[in-house]
Amino acid sequence: MRLLLVEDDAALADRLATTLTQAGYAVDRAADGVDAAHLGETEPYQLIVLDLGLPGLDGLSVLKQWRAGGLETPVLVLTARSAWTDKVEGIDAGADDYLAKPFQPEELLARLRALARRAHGQANPVLERGRLRLDPRAASVTLDGAPVTLTAQEYRLLHHLMLNPERTVSRTELTEQLYAQDFDRDSNTIEVFVARLRRKLGSEVIETARGLGYRLGATR
């Protein structure tokens, strides 16, 4: 799952990026409102973490610009402000959730998981498909109850398919969700990761829709 982190405090941004990457996200970063506005409008993020106190263009203005342009990506707002009026203003501007600084990384991750579930119509925090189980809280996968070791890219690919169990996902979309913006992307590597997942989880786990992409198969 690909995420945009917008935070101008470099030390905090470094810590959050590390936490998010370890949790399985592909993280792009922006340190000012102008860059954030552009990235949000041009890149296909699944989630956005947005600080309000930004140079160039403040976070509320960025958020209003995104929503006015039709961007529907879930946005979690970060701010040092704690007054309830500030929270109302952020939510009215289009925020999906609000987290006041300082906060624990575990709370940020939990809120992001909840936003991802709601965005994909998933009520259960654990994703299941037959014998296959993926737990975003631990970034873990089991098959018939036995743990399966996956690389970061294999996990992200499987996670994205399990969040979209009823549709065929294109190679381009999978590539965009596997890698951050500064990574040298090659859509041909998707075939490699799919082959590895089939070896580890069974050939029926991922089906190929010729010329269209991949979809989640049944694991009975």
The mean pLDDT value for 209-213 works out to 90
Q: Which pLDDT band, with edges at 50, 70 and 90, does 47 fall under?
A: very high
Provide the whole-model pTM: 0.81
Query: Residue 54 above 80 pLDDT?
Result: yes
Query: Residue 43 above 90 pLDDT?
Result: yes
pLDDT at 60: 93
Q: Which pLDDT band, with edges at 50, 70 and 90, does 217 fall under?
A: confident
The whole-angstrom separation of Cα 169 and Cα 5 is 24
Q: Please provide the CATH number assigned to the domain covering 2-119.
A: 3.40.50.2300
> Across the chain, how many H-helices and E-strands are there?
8, 11
pLDDT at 83: 64
Tokens 């998707």 belong to residue: 190
Q: How many other CB atoms sit within 10 Å of the CB of residue 181? A: 17
- Let me know: does 185 contact 171? Beta carbons within 8 Å: no
Cis peptide preceding 44, ω within 30 of 0: no
Which tens digit of pLDDT belongs to each residue from 73-120? 999 999 886 666 777 888 888 999 999 888 999 999 999 999 998 888
Tell me the CA distances in angstroms from 135 to 52, 86, 99, 123, one per residue in order: 31, 34, 23, 13
Domain ranges in the chain are 2-119, 127-216
Beta strands, E only, 66-172: 75-79, 97-100, 127-129, 132-135, 140-143, 146-148
| 22 against 183, higher pLDDT | 22
Residues whose CB is less than 8 angstroms from the CB of residue 50 and which lie 6 or more positions away in sequence, other chains included: 4, 6, 36, 59, 62, 63, 75, 76, 77, 78, 95
Q: Please provide the CATH number assigned to the domain covering 127-216.
A: 1.10.10.10
Which tens digit of pLDDT belongs to each residue from 149-177? 999 899 999 999 999 988 999 998 998 88
The mean pLDDT value for 52-63 works out to 93
- Let me know: does 149 contact 139? Beta carbons within 8 Å: no
| 181 against 68, higher pLDDT | 68
Q: Return the bridge partners of 132, or none.
A: 129, 143
